[in-house]
Structure 1
C-alpha cells in the first residue's frame, strides 16, 4: 500500500512539473510599461487574455514563448483617430495591426455609424484582428434628423438628436465626434454642439473635433472647442491637430498656448496627431460649404453667377488654405472615375489636360472633379516645425487618421501604413524629439487614460495582454507619398487579447479582436 501511495505521489509531482504555468511567456525583453517611466529588463507571463506576472520567469514553463532579446516590449498601440469604414471588408485590419496597433477608435470627424448599437452588434460577428471602439458622430446624427439643410434645428429636432446621443452612449460609444469643417456639421452653431456634447459628457464620454477651421480660422476654431469643453463640461480632444496653409505656418505656438491656458483653469483639453506634414480628405474641402448644401452643387454650377462665386471660393482656398498656394501640393489618392490620376497632382492633371497650371485652371478642374464624384486628396500644406511642436506637447497622443487599406487599392496617405513606426523611428530615435518611453506613452498609457479604457494601455499584472514587441534600432515606416502600399519594418510581434496576430513580422491569421464598449470595458 505504501509503495502504491509513493508511486501515486511521484506521478502527481511528475505531472505537475510538466504542466505549463503560462499560456505564453515573453522572455528577455526591454519592458516599457506605457507610463513614461524608464524601461526595465524582464519577462511577462500571460494566461488566456491577461498579464499575470512580470519579473524573472526564466524558470517557468509555458505553452509558447517569445524571445524578446534586444527588443522593446510595450503595450499595444492605441489609434485615437481611425477610419474603420472598410472593416467589414478588411476585418483583420492588417494595415493597422502591422503598425503595432491593438485598439482603434473609429467614428471620427462626425462620421460615426448609425444605428449605433446595431452596427456594433453586427461588427461583433466578424473575425477581427484587433480591438475596436467607436464614437457617435454629430454629422451622422444631424443628417439623419435634418438632412443637409443649412439652418438651426427646431426644438423638437434638437431633442431628437440629444436622445440619439444618449442612446449611443448607453450602447457603448466612447463619446461624440464632430466634423465642423464638413457637411452638415459646418451648418451647426455652437449652441447645438454644446447641447449634444452635454449628453455625451454626462455619460462619461469625450468630445473629439475636426475643428471648424484648421487654416485661416484656426485660432477661432480652437477657442470654440475650448468653449464647448467649458459649457458642456466634457474632455475635449483637438483631433489631428495641425496648422494648415502657408499663411498659418507657425500658428501651433499660439494654439498650444491656448491649450495650456485652458488646462491651467481646469479644462481637460488634449490633442491627437499624425506624424506627417500633409493632410488627407475629400477634394470638396476646397469648395465653399454653401455651394454643396442640399446636394445642389451641379445645379449651382449651371448658374453663371453662382459658378463664378464657387470658382472664386476654390481659388481662395487653393491660395490660402489646403491648396498651399501651389497645384503641386494637391495630390489625388482615390479617383474612382479616372484611376490613372491616383498618385498624381492637380498640377499634373492640368498639364495632361493641355492647360496652364494656374490657380484659375486648377479651380475649374476641381469643379469638374466634384461633378464627376469627387476624389480622395492629399494636401501637402503643413509645416514640419508645426508638426514637431505639436508632437512634443505633453498632451498630444497619436492617431493615424488613416483609412484601413490593402495593397493595390487606391493611393492612400502613407499614414495608413506607417504612423506609429514613424513616431518611434523617425521622431523619437532619429530626430531625438523625445525619449522612446515618451513616444510609447503618447500611443498607449496617455491614450488609454483619455478614453477611460480600463485594463489596457499599461503593462501590469491583471491588465489585458495587448502587447507590441518591436526592434527599437530598426523600426521605421516605409510607406511614402509615391509608393504608399508598404508595411513598416521592425514590428516583430503584436499580441491582441493574449493571442499573437503578428509573429516574426508576419500575420498569423488569428482574429482575437473584440468590440470594446465604453460601458463594458
Structure 2
C-alpha cells in the first residue's frame, strides 16, 4: 500500500521523496535499492537520501520504481485532445504515447467528407480539426492531456489532403504538396513519417512515391515507421521495401507491430528476425510488437478467412453485430464469410491470426520495443488498449520468464525513448523528467480480456507525469493533475 508522510524543513529539500524503492532505471540494468527525489518535475537525486526532506514522502518498500512506460505505437491522435484524461493508458503506467502510426494521423488533415479507411479509426469527421501540424501541437498543449504526446505524420493522411482519389499513385505535384506539409510538421517537432502500405487507400502508392516523400526526413533527424505492405506471405519483400526507403532517406526504420500473420505464415519469425538482423548490419532498424496473438483493425476483405477466429468489434450498417464472431454472423445470415464481411463494412475486427511461438520470439528480440496499437474509439476494443504493458510485466516476464523484469522495463522505456528521440525521457536518472511508475512486481498483470476489455490493470500503484501524481492504484483512479505535454523530436536539424 502506498503511504505518505510530510517532512519538516531542511536543507536538501525536494517536492517528492520516494524512499526504499527497488529502482529499475530503464537501461536494462538490474534493480537497485534506492531513494529517489523529485523536484520541479525532474529527478533531483538517486541513492541513500537520508539527509533529504520533502513536502511529501512515499514509502515504496517492496515496490519497483521505473520510468513511465512509453507506448510507441498508438492511435490516440484525437483522443489525447477529446478525452485528455487518457485513463486506459495512464492506469497501466503509460506516461507518453506516440501517435500518427500506420500512415494515419490527425494532422495535417483536411477532409473532403468522412475520413477514409483506416483514418476512421481516429474518429469521425468532427474529430479532425488540424489542417497544419502546428495547429495540432497547439491543440494538444491547450487540452493538457494527462500523458505526454509525440507524433508521426501519416502518409495516408497526406495523400488524403492532396489527391482526388487514393486508388492510384500520386503525381509529382501531389508528392511536392505532401513533402511541403511533411516539412512543416518536421519543423514543428514531428518524429518522422509513418506509412500503412497494406491498407486499401495506400497500397497503390508505389515505393517510388514513398522514397520521394521521405527525402526531407534526414534533414530534421526524423525516422520512418511502417505498417508493412504485407505481414503475410510477402512479408520479406515488404521488409526489404522498408529497408530500401530507410537507406534512400538516410534515416532509421521502425517496423510497426512486427508479426507473422496468417496460419500459412506461422513459424516464420526466425526467418523474419534474421532479415531484420541482416539489415541492421548496414542501417538503423528496429521494430515494435504488442504482446498478444490477435491483431485488430478495420474489417478487411483481404484478411477474411475461415482459418482463425475473427471477432467483429463494430459495424456502421449493423451495429447490433458488434462483439460477435464473423462465422456466427455469416451463419445467421446464411451467407459465406466474405459476403457477411462486405455487408458489415465499414466495420472493425479482431483477428486471432498469430501463433504464441512467433509472438514470443519477436517480443523477446533485442530490437523489439513494446507498443499497444490500441484502438480507443472501438466500442469493444482489443484488450491491448488497457493491458499491453502490465501483460509484458506479469505474463511474459514473471510467468513465462521470457525475459527479466529489467529487460521488460527497458523495452518499454529507455530503448523506446532512444529509438524515437525523446530526450530526457525513458530513464530514472538525475536531471530527467520525472515520468515514473511504482508497481508491485509480484501482482502486476493485465485485467482486460477480449470479452471484457475495458479493465484497469492490477499492481500499478502510482504514476507520475512530469513530477505530478497522475494515478493512484489503491483506488484505481486518476488524480486531478493533467501534466502531460507535446514532446517535439529533440534531434537537431542538420544540413541535407
Could you give the per-residue CA deviations for residues 382-406 of structure 1, whole angstroms, max 9, x where no partner exists?
Answer: 111110010111010000001236x
The C-alpha deviation readout for 1:286-317, integer Å capped at 9, x for no partner, is 25xxxxxxxxxxxxxxxxxxxxxxxxxxxxx4
Q: What are the residue-to-residue correspondences of 1:21-36 with 2, within 5 Å? A: 21-36=13-28
Q: CA, structure 1 residues 390+363, in 2 after alignment: closer, same or farther (shift >3 Å)?
A: same
Cα deviation for residue 16 of structure 1 reads 9.0
Candidates 328, 332, 335, aligned match of 1:348: 328
Are the aligned partners of 1:448 and 1:456 in contact in 2 as well (CA < 8 Å)?
A: yes
Distance 1:109 1:324, change over 3 A: farther
Q: Which residue of 2 aligns with 1:502?
A: 471
Please tell me whether the aligned partners of residues 465 and 496 of structure 1 are also in contact (alpha carbons under 8 angstroms): yes
1:376 corresponds to: 348
| Distance in 2 between residues matched to 1:467 and 1:410, nearest whole Å | 30
Taking the aligned partners of 2:339 and 2:57, their CA distance within structure 1 comes to: 60
Q: Does residue 88 of structure 1 match 2:81?
A: yes
1:418 aligns with 2:355: no
Question: Secondary structure of 2:336's match?
Answer: helix
* SS of residue paired to 2:418: helix
TM superposition shift of 1:162: 1.5
Which moved further from structure 2: 413-422 or 342-351? 342-351
Q: In the TM superposition, what is the alpha-carbon distance from 1:18 to its structure 2 partner? A: 5.1
User: 1:304 corresponds to which residue?
Assistant: none
Report if the CA contact (8 A) 2:422-2:490 is conserved.
no
CA–CA separation in structure 1 for the residues paired with 2:236 and 2:432:
40
2:159–2:166 CA contact under 8 A, matched in 1: no
Number of aligned residue pairs: 459
> Equivalent residue of 1:61, what SS?
strand
- Kept in 1, the 8 Å contact 2:416–2:426? The answer is yes
* Residue of structure 2 equivalent to 1:3: none
TM-score if structure 1 supplies the norm length? 0.85
Equivalent residue number for residue 442 of structure 1: 411
What's 1:106 paired with? 99
What residue is the counterpart of 1:479 in the other structure?
Answer: 448
Q: Offset of 1:448 from its aligned partner?
A: 0.4
Tell me how far 1:366 sits from its aligned partner: 1.1
Of 30, 44, 53, 1:38 maps to 30
CA contact (8 A) 1:468 1:491 kept: yes
**Cα deviation code 1:253-281 (max 9, x no counterpart):** 111000100112x2111000100000001
Please say if residues 81 and 140 of structure 2, whose CA atoms lie closer than 8 Å, have aligned partners that are also in contact: yes
Q: Are the aligned partners of 1:171 and 1:517 in contact in 2 as well (CA < 8 Å)? A: yes
1:87/1:404 contact within 8 Å kept: no
Q: 1:261 to 1:520 in 2, by over 3 A?
A: closer
Query: Would you say 1:49 and 2:20 are equivalent positions?
Result: no
Query: Which has the higher Rg, Structure 1 or Structure 2?
Result: 1
Alpha-carbon separation, structure 1, partners of 2:92 and 2:456: 8
Structure with the bigger percentage of helix = 1
**CA contact 2:443–2:459 (8 Å) conserved in 1:** yes
Structure 2 residue 480 is matched with structure 1 residue 512: no
CA distance in 1, matches of 2:227, 2:218: 18
Q: Calculate the aligned-residue CA RMSD, in Å.
A: 1.8
2:365 corresponds, among 393, 397, 415, to 393
Q: Which moved more, 1:83-92 or 1:447-456?
A: 83-92
Q: Does 1:286 align with 2:301?
A: yes
Q: Secondary structure at the match of 2:16?
A: strand
User: What is the CA distance between 1:477 and its match in structure 2?
Assistant: 0.4
CA distance in 1, matches of 2:460, 2:266: 33
1:69 to 2:61 alignment: yes
Contact kept, 8 Å, 1:198 with 1:234, in 2: the verdict is: no
Match of 2:73, SS? coil
Query: Would the aligned equivalents of 1:170 and 1:519 in 2 still touch at CA under 8 Å?
Result: no
Retained in 2: the 8 A contact 1:80–1:105?
yes
Matches within 5 A, 1:318-337: 318=304, 323=305, 325-326=307-308, 329-337=309-317
**Structure 1 residues 236 and 324: CA distance shift in structure 2, 3 A:** farther
Q: Deviations over 1:227-249 (max 9, x none)?
A: 11122211000001111110000
1:242–1:382 CA contact under 8 A, matched in 2: yes
**Deviations 1:194-223 (CA, angstroms, capped at 9, x unpaired):** 121221222101111000011122111111
Give the unaligned 5+ runs of structure 1: 1-14, 288-316
1:68-467 alignment, distance < 5 Å: 68-84=60-76, 85-112=78-105, 113-114=107-108, 115-264=132-281, 266-283=282-299, 285-287=300-302, 317-318=303-304, 323=305, 325-326=307-308, 329-353=309-333, 355=334, 361-370=336-345, 374-404=346-376, 410-467=379-436
**Hey, what's the Cα distance between the residues in 2 that align with 1:155 and 1:404?**
36
Q: Distance in 1 between matches of 2:484 and 2:66?
A: 18
